């Protein structure tokens, strides 16, 4: 028996490759499926099953493409209603894979079709669970994503999740290994651990939601407390996962069109496309195409695209580092953004060489900022999450989280300059690009973010009551 977790850091997502006696099961595959196919071929094995834990909201799964290429059936748990051919497992239904067994445990609560897959070894002993978004390490799946589709409240879903955990998962042996669908950084939970594999016994000790003495009322309150609104693209990804999508190879082929600066400019002016610049933030601040949006590849790229662009049908023109165009198109497709019209051939240097107009972002070092703060009163905006600002922040700074930046546009001064920062410099440049696209050009980015501000000795305040955020 061989189990491999294939973890994608950008999405904080775990897919799983399970092999026994030449037979393979894939759980929650990513949209680009050839790595799974090639792995099976190299092991002289055959993909027999494709298991889906639920209809994913935060990424587009590869179940349809993988099934088309391998003829392996797609398996969902009870209550699933996809628009394509799939096997709908019954609770406790068993699937043989070589000399091991995979059992479908219906664990509704995150969504009503959510299913945990229990792996029993060749001796029939419970070995591991693949819990999808039902159970994370340190947390459980948020119960608010399916409520509109299911005509059910988040409190009712949380009650259902409580029963699923206590009736199906907590009775399992402490030495059972937990392989979750996501880790820290995913928007599908709020308190996940950085680790990606653990034992159920340790989770019973560490995970607040698995406390043995916890009542259902306490569980509902704790699981629903502090939930931020889900990203707007989540329902659109669910729709793609339930109804179908284009093969990622076709999406890559459509988007892999190198455009001259003139053709790129023409499309930008006439197609309604947004210009998405995915270079490093240090390059973007020095120069970029006017009104382009920065979301760098070397950060939490796909989730920020989904959160800030939201509409998966939005046409996109890319400014990418040379040689990383296909990677960018692939990573956009993972979250359902398939409408890439092309990319700027030669990247931003080609734009400059063609004497096209370009813009830049004003910056200041933390040391320079400290000197300035000693001379005059300035306005500082912190675009980190509310919880980050609450823990520590520069004195008298205002919190305008990037997730809801459009709700704060009236907060930014129209005259003079103001200063923005995040933790290290990635999110604040995203914010600056969005503000510029809205006609707000008087921001100055603090290089190195809050970390550099701390190191420079700027006065820091902690544990202040956060202001009420409207978003």
Is 389 within 8 Å of 402 (Cβ atoms)? no
Q: Classify 387 in phi/psi space as left (phi over 0), alpha (psi -120 to 50) or beta.
A: alpha
Q: At what angle do helices 325-333 and 248-255 cross, to 10 degrees?
A: 140
pLDDT of residue 470: 35
> pLDDT tens digits, residue range 64-85?
999 999 999 999 999 999 999 9
Rounded CA-CA distance 96/175 in Å is: 22
Which CATH code is given to the segment(s) 246-353?
A: 3.40.250.10
Q: CATH 3.40.250.10 in the chain, residues? A: 246-353, 362-462
Backbone phi, then psi, for 163, in 5-degree steps? Answer: -65, -40
Please write the tens of the pLDDT for every residue from 251-278.
Answer: 999 999 999 999 999 999 999 999 999 9
Q: The domain 2-235 belongs to what CATH superfamily?
A: Ribonuclease Z/Hydroxyacylglutathione hydrolase-like (3.60.15.10)
Question: Which residues have CB under 8 Å from 250's CB, separation 6+?
Answer: none
With a cut of 80, say whether residue 468 has pLDDT above it: no
Phi and psi, residue 331, nearest 5°? -70, -30
Per-residue model confidence (pLDDT) at position 466: 44
User: Over 50: is that where the pLDDT of 469 sits?
Assistant: no
**CATH level 3 topology of 362-462:** Oxidized Rhodanese; domain 1 (3.40.250)
The pLDDT tens digits of the residues spanning 348-377 come to 999 999 999 999 999 999 999 999 999 999
The predicted-structure confidence for 149-171, as pLDDT tens digits, reads as follows 667 899 999 999 999 999 999 99
pTM, to two decimals? 0.91
Domain with CATH 3.60.15.10 in the chain: 2-235
């Amino acid at each position: 028996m061989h189990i491999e977790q294939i973890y994608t850091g950008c999405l904080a997502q775990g897919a799983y490759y399970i092999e026994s006696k030449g037979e393979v099961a894939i759980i929650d595959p990513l949209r680009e499926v050839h790595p799974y196919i090639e792995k099976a071929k190299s092991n002289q094995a055959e993909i027999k099953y494709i298991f889906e834990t639920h209809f994913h909201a935060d990424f587009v799964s590869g179940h349809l493409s993988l099934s088309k290429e391998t003829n392996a059936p797609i398996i969902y748990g009870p209550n699933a209603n996809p628009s394509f051919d799939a096997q709908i497992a019954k609770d406790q239904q068993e699937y043989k894979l070589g000399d091991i067994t995979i059992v479908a445990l219906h664990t509704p609560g995150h969504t009503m079709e959510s299913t945990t897959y229990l792996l029993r070894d060749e001796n029939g002993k419970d070995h591991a669970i693949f819990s999808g978004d039902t159970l994370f390490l340190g947390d459980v799946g948020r119960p608010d994503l399916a409520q509109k589709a299911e005509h059910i409240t988040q409190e009712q879903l949380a009650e259902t999740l409580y029963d699923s955990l206590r009736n199906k998962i907590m009775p399992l042996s402490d030495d059972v290994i937990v392989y979750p669908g996501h880790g820290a950084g995913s928007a599908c939970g709020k308190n996940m651990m950085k680790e990606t594999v653990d034992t159920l016994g340790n989770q019973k000790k560490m995970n607040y939601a698995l406390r043995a003495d916890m009542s259902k009322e306490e569980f509902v309150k704790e699981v629903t407390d502090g939930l931020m609104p889900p990203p707007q693209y989540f329902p659109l990804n669910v729709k793609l996962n339930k109804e179908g999508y284009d093969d990622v190879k076709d999406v890559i082929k459509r988007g892999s069109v190198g455009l001259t600066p003139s053709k790129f400019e023409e499309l930008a002016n006439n197609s309604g496309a947004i210009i998405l610049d995915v270079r490093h933030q240090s390059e973007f601040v020095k120069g970029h195409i006017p009104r382009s949006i920065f979301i760098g590849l070397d950060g939490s790229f796909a989730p920020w695209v989904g959160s800030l662009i939201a509409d998966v049908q939005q046409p996109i023109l890319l400014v990418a580092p040379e040689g990383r165009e296909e990677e960018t198109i692939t990573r956009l497709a993972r979250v359902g953004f398939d409408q890439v019209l092309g990319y700027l051939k030669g990247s931003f240097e080609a734009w400059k060489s063609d004497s096209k107009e370009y813009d830049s972002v004003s910056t200041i070092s933390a040391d320079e900022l400290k000197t300035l703060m000693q001379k005059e009163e300035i306005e500082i905006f912190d675009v980190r999450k509310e919880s980050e600002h609450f823990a520590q922040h520069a004195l008298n700074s205002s919190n305008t989280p990037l997730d809801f930046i459009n709700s704060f546009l009236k907060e930014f001064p129209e005259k003079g300059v103001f200063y923005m920062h995040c933790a290290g410099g990635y999110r604040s440049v995203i914010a600056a690009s969005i503000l510029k696209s809205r006609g707000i050009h008087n921001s100055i980015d603090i290089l190195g973010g809050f970390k550099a501000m701390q190191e420079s000795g700027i006065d820091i305040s902690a544990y202040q009551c956060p202001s009420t955020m409207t978003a």
